[in-house]
Structure formats: structure tokens, C-alpha cells
Amino acid sequence: MTVHIALGGLVIALATAGVHRWLARAAALVRRSVLVVGTVAMLSVVVADWVLPAGWLEWSPTITGNLEGYVTERVGAAVGVAAATAANPFALSPKPVTSTSLPASESWWLTAVWWLGLSLATIRIAAAEWRAHRLKRRAAPLDSRSFPVLRESHTAVEIPLRISPEISTPAVVGWRHPCILLPKSAETWDPQTLRAAWLHEWAHIAHRDPSLQRVATWMCAVHWFNPLAWWIAHRLRHESEVAADDRVLRSGMRPSTYAKTLVALARDRLTPASTAIALVSSPSGLTRRVESIVAPQTRRRGPTGTWVSAVAGSYGALVLLLTATRPASATPRPDLVTHATTDVEAPAVAAGLRDAVDQEIERLVDRWHPTGAAVVVLDPQTRRVLASGDYRGALARSFEPASTIKPFTFATAIEAGLDPDTRVDGEGGEWIYDAAVFRDHHAFGSMTLTQSLAQSSNVGALKVFAQAGPRALRTTFVRLGLPAPPRWTPAQAAGAALGHGLQVTPVQLARAYASLATVSPTNDAAFRPSTVLHVRQLMEAVVHSPEGTGRQAQVRGIRVAGKTGTSPLPRPGGGFFDDRTQATFVGLAPATHPRFVVLVTVTDPRSGASGGVVAAPAFARIAAAALDSLDPS
């Protein structure tokens, strides 16, 4: 339970109270229908909070136009989210993720208090259910043939009857297999009273009140802190009684006779179990019911199907809106994410490295005229930011990582059992996954995993992803501290495997790459040592193989490993620009025993250049300076 969802429940409760007030002159069944839908909506907003990914309307980007228009590595960004486009044509363009969550300490104790309240309410519900079950078991079965007026009713054989000395007013007990309990005094009732009591309790069962009352009880347990939740449950019980009264009157019983029956039964009332639905409730409720019964102009007909559908649809849209607009947040792993995503420079690093970063930022601005640029140099052993550079706030902004996520997709599949020597079929540059067409920028055929990553093949990466599946990829993202919603659709997971449809900060992505720079046999490591070594070899080919997209990241005298990433920038009104990109390169230096993780990302470089052209050369120069800064000893 988050503050956002608690406020969402309050919004739904206020809407329910307002509509109920507006329908004061409507039939009880109409007012009851609003309370029922409101009750379900208040529970649904919590369920949706657990099931739907945070900010899910914003999470899946969309593109418009012909996908074949993208003919460079930028094809991946468009194709990677094609399935999301097909599934949700109203999806919004990706944008930096911001959090409006409470601080962790405050969020923790608020969650703890909510769980305590829910636990106490659950105990209370369990005790009430046990009392009702015991009341039902201790009641003696009753033969309806003993009551001629009930034998004449067509419903008598459908609903079991029991008689109990522990109650003095009729009640319904149970929700899956409800039965009607009659008091011991019912054996002496006149036929008119017996018929009225029977019809009233049968109406509760026909209206499914036992089940709905339990839904309301659980709604109060979940929203125990919200007084309007308790008001809704109280009003639902009252409107259910009035609706049952209306059904009795529609059967032909005179209002005055029925009102006298209720008053007579109320003279000597014992409260049954709280989960039972009694014919006579509180004195104040009885007064209002009698007034409704004898009122000559009272409407007693139920709502139409159109009305119920309209109310349910309106509340459903409100629930989706409330859950869709809650902020998305990553689920970081504490041992991998040890610092906030800000510039935390280590004072022991040689000034030459920081100077090199500053010079490279200036070079990028002069050469490419971007709207933003960021550089991060990270120690993979400690996850400490050794040096960083920032142009126009790009270091603190989220961006779409694109193909720089693919090494983690490959690592996930290898962890899941994929043989590193496996070949994948490029399908001539086109493949259908989950009813969506994915295309490459070249017509690739059969490829090794090395060739697939080196050439940044989208089809190849999706073939690899299919070996692991959405659940395994989400687990990897959570372990690395990357954004991972509670549940992915196949289209969203496919986009995430290509690095599309999610937002990361530069430091966040650099720290994720640190998991590929360290070999640890401990259980808390993100990947097995053998997986790390295999993926590093694949990343070396990105830089050092003839077909690699990151050839300009080569550093003279050493071998490095890395991955390019290029994604089109989103248009404000939806879709993507054809000639404006986010160009990124993330690499490890040196490749065999990495001492540095270096990330370079450039927003909107001139001519829409790719990560291999813009960011890879900057990586090479910064990596060389970082290695030069090491103590020769």
C-alpha cells in the first residue's frame, strides 16, 4: 500500500459517496449498485497496484509510420517496441522517470503500520467467520414441510433451512452455500410473519448479498485507515436491507402489514454473528426502513443493465487512471547500487582523469552540438564514481539505453542454459514475435552469438531473449537495479530485451555494467563467473571484430569490451524523430581484468549520428586517460 494508492482509494470513496448522495431518490437497488461498484473499485485499485507496472501508460513507447524507414541502428528502437504499439495505440512517448515516493524510512514505517492494521482486521474477519460457521453447524435442520406457507414457495427446495435458539430474528449465513436461519420462536409465528421473513432472507440470497458483504468487509480491512471505506460498507448493508424489503413488497405484500412485521420482530432482538445478514438490524436502520416501506412514492425497481455497465465502466476507467499515473521506480539491489545516481568523485583519482573527462565533454559539444551529454567513469570493484562530466543536466536525466542492454539479455539467456556456441538465425533481417514484426538494419542470416551482438542484430537478440523468457530477464533487471515492472507483457519484455521502453540514468547503467566487470563466485553475484567471461568475449567482438558496431572504441595497446546503443528521441506529441537520437557507448577497460567502466551518452547529436560514431571514440580517449592514471607500480 503506497500513499498514492491510499489517495486513490480516497478519490474512489469520495466519488462513491457523491454519486450515492445524488441518487438519494432512486431505488435502493440503484443506490446499492453504486456502492457495490465503488467497493470493488477500492479493492481493485490495490490489486492493480500489485499487478500492473507503475506508470504503465507511460512505460510502453509507441511509434507511428513505416518501420522500414529506420535503416541504421536506430531501427532497433522503433522495432523493439512495435508490439507495444500494436497492443496500445494510445501509449505515450518515453520520458525521464521521476519519483514522487516518500523517503525509504517514512515509506517503511507507513507500510508496517498498514500491514499491522490489515493483520488485525484479518484476525477479526476470521473470528467472525468462525462464529458464523459455528452458528450454522449448531442450528438444527428444518423440514420446510412443517411450514405450509414455505412449502408453497418455489424457492423452498433450493435454500436449506435451519432453526437456531441462539438468534431471535431470521438471518442468512454462509456465502458459497448460504442457508436461512430461523429463530426458535418461528415455530409459533403466524403465516404472514413467516412468509415476510422468508421472502426477505431469500431476497438477500437472490441479490448475492452474503458474497458482497464479504467483499465490503475485506475492502474495509485493506482501507482500514479510511473512514469513508467504513461508511460505504455501512451504507451497503443498509441499502441491501432496503432492497430486500422492496423485493418483498413487489411480491404483493401490503406495506403496512410488512412494516408491522418488522417492528414486531425488533421487539426482542439478539444480534447474530457479524457475517450473518439479519432481517432486523439497528433501531435507527429499522426506522429508516419503515419510513421507506410506507412511503407511497418510493421507487422499488432495480437498475437496468445499461446503467450497471455505465457505472462499472466509469469506475474501471478511474481505477486504471489512478494506477497508471502513479510514478514508476526501479527496484535496486542494495549490494550492487551503493551510491545515489549523482556525481560522487573519489579524491584519490589523479586530476588528469577528471581533466580528460572535462575535455571530452567540450569536444563532444564542439563536434556534435548536442542538447545534452554525460560521462561516467566507475570503479567496478567499489561502484564508486571516479570522475564524471555533465552538459546541460544529462548526468541526472534518464534516457533510453537501447542496445547497451543487450549484453544483459545475452547473460540472462546463458544463465538460463543457452550454449554460448549456439547459432541463431537472422531470418533475413525480419522476424515475428508475439504477433509483431521485428526488423534489422541488414538482412542477417545464420550468426554466432558473437556475431549477433557485434552487429547489434535485433532479431538475433530477440532469439536469444526467447531462450530465457520475460521472467528471467525481469529477475536480471531487479538484481542489477534496472527498472523492472511487476509484470511484463511479451511485447514489453521483448522491447526491454533490446533496451527500449525503459529509462535509466547514466550512473545506474554504469553500475549495472560493473556486474560484467567483476568475477565473483558468491551467491549474491549478479551472474556466474563463467557467464561473465563469456559475455565479455562477446563484448570484445563489438569493438575488435571487423563487423562490430563499436570499432571506434579501440584503445591502442589494449583490448577493451563494450556495447553501442542508439535510440531515436521521442516526439512531444507521440512517436519518434527520424533524425534525432540518443547515442551511447558503455565499455570495460581493459577487457580481461577491467579496472574501469566508462559510459558516454550524447543527446541529440548533429545529423542523428549513432553511438558507434559519437560515443565510442569518446570512450576510447577517456579509457586511455583512465588507464594512464593508474599507479605504474
CA distances from 34 to 15, 146, 275, 407, 580 (A): 10, 40, 22, 52, 50
Cell numbers for 250, please give them: 413487489
The stretch 315-321 carries a mean pLDDT of 75
* Residue showing cell 544483459: 408
- Model confidence band, residue 52 (pLDDT cutoffs 50, 70, 90): low
- Could you tell me if residue 412 is left (phi over 0), alpha (psi between -120 and 50 degrees) or otherwise beta? alpha
Mean pLDDT rounded to a whole number for the chain: 80
The stretch 529-539 carries a mean pLDDT of 97
H-state helical runs in 147-282: 148-151, 191-206, 209-222, 227-250, 255-266
Cα separation of 424 and 444, whole Å?
Answer: 10
H/E stretch holding 577 reads strand 576-589
Residues 6+ apart with CB under 8 A from 550: 542, 543, 562, 563, 564, 585, 587, 611, 612, 616
Residues forming beta bridges with residue 584, ordered by sequence position: 565, 601
pTM of the model: 0.50
Identify the pLDDT of residue 529. Answer: 94
Highest average pLDDT, of 104-118, 326-340, 456-470, comes from 456-470
* Residue showing cell 553501442: 564
pLDDT at 184 over 90: no
Cα separation of 480 and 470, whole Å?
Answer: 15
Q: What percent of the chain has pLDDT over 70?
A: 76
Radius of gyration of the chain (CA): 33
- Model confidence band, residue 383 (pLDDT cutoffs 50, 70, 90): very high
Tens digits of per-residue pLDDT, 470-495? 999 999 999 999 998 888 888 889 99
Highest average pLDDT, of 254-263, 341-350, 583-592, comes from 583-592
Residues forming beta bridges with residue 414, ordered by sequence position: none
The stretch 348-354 carries a mean pLDDT of 70
CA-angle at 603, arms to 597 and 605, nearest 5°: 110
Identify the pLDDT of residue 352. Answer: 80
CATH of 351-416+499-628 given 3.90.230.10, 1.10.1070.11, 3.40.50.1370, 3.40.710.10: 3.40.710.10
- Model confidence band, residue 627 (pLDDT cutoffs 50, 70, 90): very high
Closest CA to 1 of 98, 116, 99, 121: 116
Q: What is the dihedral of CA 273, 279, 280, 282, to 10 degrees?
A: 60
Compute how many other C-beta atoms are within 10 angstroms of the C-beta atom of residue 355: 13
- Model confidence band, residue 179 (pLDDT cutoffs 50, 70, 90): confident
- Model confidence band, residue 145 (pLDDT cutoffs 50, 70, 90): low
Residues forming beta bridges with residue 162, ordered by sequence position: 141, 181
Identify the pLDDT of residue 582. Answer: 98
pLDDT at 524 over 90: no
The stretch 28-57 carries a mean pLDDT of 76
Residue 404 or residue 207, greater confidence: 404
**Residues belonging to the chain:** 633
Tens digits of per-residue pLDDT, 547-581? 999 999 999 999 999 999 999 999 998 889 989 99
Cα separation of 435 and 137, whole Å?
Answer: 55
Identify the pLDDT of residue 332. Answer: 37
Cα separation of 195 and 94, whole Å?
Answer: 64
b vs e for 267-282, b when ≥16 Cβ sit within 10 Å of the residue's Cβ? eebeebbebbbbbbbe
Contact between 248 and 200 (Cβ < 8 Å): yes
Identify the pLDDT of residue 376. Answer: 97
Residue 485 burial (10 A CB sphere; 0-12, 13-18, 19+): buried
Identify the pLDDT of residue 120. Answer: 93
Residue 137 or residue 327, greater confidence: 137
CA distances from 329 to 9, 207, 334, 472, 503 (A): 21, 42, 15, 19, 10
Least confident of 63-77, 530-544, 618-632: 63-77
Least confident of 56-60, 372-376, 383-387: 56-60
Tens digits of per-residue pLDDT, 193-217? 888 888 888 888 888 888 989 999 9
- Model confidence band, residue 136 (pLDDT cutoffs 50, 70, 90): confident
Identify the pLDDT of residue 596. Answer: 97
Residues 6+ apart with CB under 8 A from 614: 364, 368, 583, 602, 605
Least confident of 113-117, 350-354, 531-535, 625-629: 350-354
In degrees and rounded to multiples of 5, residue 286 shows phi and psi of -65, -40
Instruction: State the amino acid at position 131 in one-letter form.
Output: R
Residues forming beta bridges with residue 562, ordered by sequence position: 587
- Model confidence band, residue 297 (pLDDT cutoffs 50, 70, 90): low
Identify the pLDDT of residue 112. Answer: 84
Identify the pLDDT of residue 203. Answer: 86
Looking at residue 103, the DSSP 8-state letter turns out to be P
Tens digits of per-residue pLDDT, 269-294? 545 555 555 555 555 566 677 667 76
Q: What is the dihedral of CA 91, 96, 100, 104, to 10 degrees?
A: 120
Tens digits of per-residue pLDDT, 405-462? 999 999 999 999 999 999 999 888 888 887 777 788 888 899 999 999 999 999 999 9
Least confident of 38-52, 339-353, 615-629: 339-353
Q: Which residue spans of the chain are classified as CATH 3.40.710.10?
A: 351-416+499-628
Identify the pLDDT of residue 148. Answer: 61
**Cis upstream peptide for 255 (omega within 30°):** no
Residue 536 or residue 137, greater confidence: 536
Identify the pLDDT of residue 338. Answer: 28
Identify the pLDDT of residue 324. Answer: 57
